[in-house]
Amino acid sequence: MGISPKDELAQLAEEAARCVRCPLYRDATQVVFGEGPAGAKIMMIGEQPGDQEDRAGRPFVGAAGRVLDQALNEAGLQRSAIYITNAVKHFKHEVRGKRRLHKHPNRYEIGQCRWWLEREFAAIDPVFIVALGAIAASVLMGRPITLANARGRLLRWRDGRAGFATIHPSAVLRMPDDLSRARAFESLSKDLRRALSLAKSLTSGSG
Ligand code: SF4
């Protein structure tokens, strides 16, 4: 008897906690592994954990996570049904005074951390993968892509799985005023509704 997907994920998370495949573990508090049911048909991938995720050890629990939860609710998607993770599992940042500012992972760090992402794919075998932001979309496509080209339509990722790309929820928070924030939020919810509809059409016959 092989190991169950649930146990496999728990084992992976335990192993990732000791990962030294790239230097990012050194300045982070802890690894932030993916979270969600092992039988999830939909998987969502962001770039990397942020400050609050690093402290909590859980993905998408900070301000961007709250935006995502709200957008998921409006789109009729239950977060509890989705497996959610990041392309890079440790928080990359620089310290400025008392603040820890997000820094984008580089190509080497992304490449090294892909090892874990591939194992999450193998354990969960998702039918539909949503990329949150251009970095996650580029990781999944295996080459740099922009949201201007990829956003809002059915995609085929490099491994042949179906997917969709939209903005990272932190993009909503970075908008300069209430009106642009509301518009960005509405566009994220609309994208997630579309993603759900595409995912449903692909998963309806798959049990
Ligand atoms: S970022 Fe990924 S590859 Fe780098 S140490 Fe952390 S878990 Fe390992």
pLDDT of residue 2: 80
Q: How confident is the model at residue 207 (pLDDT cuts 50, 70, 90)?
A: very low
The pLDDT, as a whole number, for residue 33 is 98
Question: In the predicted model, what is the mean pLDDT of the chain?
Answer: 95
- Kindly report, residue by residue over 126-148, the tens digit of the pLDDT: 999 999 999 999 999 999 999 99
**Burial letters 114-138, b for 16+ CB under 10 A, else e:** bebbebbbebbebbbbbbbbbbbbb
Instruction: State residue 206's pLDDT score.
Output: 53
Residue 204 has pLDDT above 80, yes or no: no
Q: Which residues line ligand 1 (CB under 6 A)?
A: 16, 19-22, 24-25, 31, 88-90, 109, 112-113, 116
**From ligand 1's centre to the CA of 69, what distance in Å?**
26
Domain extent for 113: 5-201
Cα 111 to averaged position of ligand 1 atoms, centre (Å): 10
Residue 207 lies in a domain: no
Report the C-alpha gap between 156 and 138 in whole angstroms.
Answer: 12
48 inside domain: yes
With respect to residue 28, please indicate whether it lies within any of the assigned structural domains: yes
Domain count, the chain: 1
Residue 49: inside a domain: yes
Q: Would 50 be classed as within a structural domain?
A: yes
Q: Which atom of ligand 1 is nearest to the CA of 105?
A: 1
- In angstroms, the CA 71 to CA 192 distance is 7
This model's pTM is above 0.85: yes
Place of tokens 């969600």: 36
120 located within any domain: yes
Q: Which atom of ligand 1 is nearest to the CA of 92?
A: 1
pLDDT digits (tens, 9 = 90+) for 167-192: 999 999 999 999 999 999 999 999 99
- Residue 32, domain member (yes or no): yes
CATH number of the domain to which 180 belongs:
3.40.470.10
206, part of any domain: no
